[in-house]
A and B are shown apart, each in its own frame.
Chain A
Amino acid sequence: MSDTHAQTVAYVRDTMLPEQAPPSTAAGPIKWMRDNLFSSVLNTVLTLLSVYFLWLVLSLVLPWVWYGSWTATSLKECREVVADLGLAHGAACWSVIGERYLQLIYGFYPAELYWRANLAFVLMIVALAPVLYPNLPRKILWFSALYPFIAFWLLWGGTLWTPVVAVAGFVLGYFAFEALYRLAGSLVGVIAAILVPVIWWLLLAGPVANGLASVLPLTIETVESAKFGGFMLSIIIGVTGIALSLPLGILLALGRQSDLMIVKAICVGFIEFIRGVPLITLLFVASTLLNYFLPPGTTFDIILRVIIMVTLFASAYMAEVVRGGLAALPTGQYEAADALGLDYWKATRLITMPQALKISIPGIVSTFIGLFKDTTLVSIIGLLDPIGLTNTIRADSNWNGIVWELYGFIALMFFIFCFGMSRYSMYLERKLKTGH
């Protein structure tokens, strides 16, 4: 090919010059530094100031972290060990973490049942994987859908029939919808799909589960909610809240834009009310007031109540974030979908919502991160999340007075989770970019 060119077109070069490395001023670390750190006098001054500041902070923090004691069994002993090191600002007492880390992770969950919590955590990663990475086989999504029930059974124990009848409610709802949708239209179908499962759960599910359990128990040891704590509790509340608040937020955002006056009024009222009150008041309602409204004798799990409140709280913010995304779409997108004959739900699902969600990723993830950090507020109503546990640990006479190490460790753990979410959202944004 290039031979013919060389003969026929004399001015077409067919042998390339060997590649040369660019001169060191045009590439490599020296060029990078010159471009980014020392490009002007002002930049040079700022760079030097920043380096000095970093050095100040790190020279204080790093020795404190690094020379900390892992062996002392009490704060008093630790102070003595550390004093011997002769450091100007002392050193950390990490042994409190070494001694209490199981409690900080599992709360008062029975030690012999830790494996159940661990298994639930590992399965959670399996269930999340296909949701987070669409390249994985779609079939795993079935497992993701069933995971909440499996996790519930593993964590709380009891008979397997409880989660099974709970799933059965959804299945019944599906069949009720299918049956009535054809006969009486979509509105009747939707109403039936909501009513049938609710009736099932409230009236029939309990007796049926008990009946089945008396025939074939399939029971594992029960763990009460009071024993739940630590990061396990934060993750249970946080992940459930995240998973439920997004769909609820989407529905609220759609409702707020709806032409149906009543639906719209309910959604606006809900969003504005929830956004107008502090989360902590909602949690107090969950922990105390809610019991007054329930029929006497009903016990309604405290963790469940908290999850509901946290979810409602986050979903109001989510709704506003998603509405922002919907509003940012050009009207042409709605018109094109209409002109092609897509009905409202199909247009929403296939055209507008995917684009709106893509635009709102940063806001959605911020809300997720906020929700996850807000789970620490449950310590105020007496749940033993990591912050709640610090009180117990600090009440121990051995560790009375310890602050930095404990809160530093908790902060680090939260940071790892939240930073992970933030990185994932950046990955997702890059992946979904389809323009230039």
Chain B
Amino acid sequence: MSQLATDREIDRSKMAVSDEVAIQINKMNKWYGAFHVLRDIDMTVQRGERIVIAGPSGSGKSTLIRCINRLEEHQKGDIIVDGIELTSDLKNIDKIRREVGMCFQHFNLFPHLSILENCTLAPMWVRKTPKKEAEEIAMHFLEKVKIPEQADKYPGQLSGGQQQRVAIARSLCMKPRIMLFDEPTSALDPEMIKEVLDTMVELAEEGMTMLCVTHEMGFAKQVANRVIFMDAGQIVEQNEPEEFFNNPKSERTKLFLSQILGH
């Protein structure tokens, strides 16, 4: 039935990129104490774009996408998400977090709540959706990630791949306009990676704006329309996947690609 994410025909009809700007980052800098993690990041993400961020460990990929929903605070430069500028104004932060979904490496489901409650919590408490409607939305997205039958279980009773799909469904229940993924498959066994990637490919096919930190280069080739390569807190190179993989420009990128693809 479902095929490997990498060898599946993709329906690109809905994947058009609009010229509306979803995320605008200008000359953004961030420090951890005295350590300069992100240096002069400039980046524009159009609505409907699917961006894969790659780079060696410690290069600041996680930090970059965590700045977008203010899990980390940047110190210099601007980040504008969905037309709203990220400042220390709590109202703006709340507004942005409502529009931006995020999936973590370790899923971070709420272990004391059932799968269904995990999915209905934010819509009910943040968006004030009535319980019944929230449950309908939750079931809709659980069906979409193909685990509606687990709705009454608890996260501790699910496999890693299932948990990550629930985490994706939980974010989608807030009907976000942008999705951030931070290495969603790197804590998973190989056979579970595919089921999560499949879910993400489907999401991409529906035209979701996605920023994805991942080492799954198959996924990048298949759905991304831009790959951003980071090293030492800087964007070193960005290009369409075709060009990026076949024709890398900087030495640093070549070395990284040979390590990650070569063996």
Interface residues of A (CB under 8 A from B): 330, 332-333, 335-336, 338-343, 346, 350-351, 354-355, 358, 432, 434-436
- Pairwise interchain contact A341-B157, C-beta atoms closer than 8 A: no
Closest Cβ neighbor of B127 among chain A residues: A341
* Cα–Cα, bound, A434→B121 (Å): 17
Q: Shortest distance in angstroms between A70's beta carbon and chain B's nearest beta carbon?
A: 52
The answer on a CB contact under 8 Å between A340 and B97 is yes
Q: Write the B94-111 contact mask toward A (1 if CB under 8 angstroms, else 0).
A: 100110111010101111
Decide: B104 and A340 in contact? CB cutoff 8 A: no
Q: Once bound together, how far apart are the Cα atoms of A37 and B101, in whole Å? A: 57
- Nearest B residue (CB) for A344: B90
Given contacts A332-B106, A335-B108, contact A346 B156 (CB under 8 A): no
Distance A339 CA – B157 CA, assembled complex (angstroms): 24
Task: List residues of B whose CB falls within 8 A of some A CB.
Answer: 69-71, 90, 94, 97-98, 100-102, 104, 106, 108-112, 121-122, 125-126, 154-157, 170-171, 174
Known interface pairs A342-B125, A435-B157; A358-B71 also in contact (CB < 8 Å): no
20 further interface pairs, Cβ-Cβ under 8 Å (given A339-B100, A342-B122, A350-B125)? A332-B104, A332-B106, A332-B108, A333-B108, A333-B110, A336-B109, A336-B110, A339-B69, A339-B71, A340-B97, A340-B170, A341-B97, A341-B126, A342-B125, A342-B126, A346-B125, A354-B112, A434-B155, A434-B156, A436-B156
Contact of B98 among A332, A336, A341 (CB under 8 A): A341
In angstroms, Cα B100 to Cα A335, docked, is 13
Name the residue on B nearest A352 (C-beta): B110
Query: B71 — which chain A residues lie within 8 A by C-beta?
Result: 335, 338-339
User: Number of residue pairs across A and B with beta carbons under 8 Å?
Assistant: 69
Give the shortest distance, in Å, between B172 (CB) and chain A (any CB): 11
| A436 x B157 contact (CB < 8 A) | yes
**Which residues on A sit within 8 Å (CB–CB) of B106?**
330, 332
Chain B positions within 8 Å of A350 at CB level: 121, 125
A333, A339, A434, most chain B CB atoms within 10 A: A339
CB pair A341–B110 under 8 Å, yes or no, is no
Q: Which of B101, B104, B109, B111 has the most CB of A within 10 A?
A: B111
The 3 tightest CB contacts between A and B, nearest first, are A435-B156, A336-B108, A332-B108
Contacts of A336 in B (CB 8 A): 104, 108-110
Structural contact, A335 and B122, CB atoms closer than 8 A: no
CA of A346 to CA of B108, assembled, Å: 17
A341, B122: Cβ atoms under 8 Å?
yes
Q: Which residues of B contact A343 (CB under 8 A)?
A: 90, 94
A336–B166 Cα distance when bound, in Å, is 13
Measured in the bound complex, the distance between the Cα atoms of B178 and A341 in whole Å is 14
Chain B residues in 8 Å Cβ range of A354:
112
Q: Is the CB of B156 within 8 A of A340?
A: no
CB of A58 to closest CB in B, whole Å? 44
Chain A residues within 8 Å of B109, by CB: 336
Quote the shortest CB–CB distance from A87 to chain B (angstroms).
Answer: 56
Do A434 and B122 touch across chains, with their CB atoms under 8 A apart? no
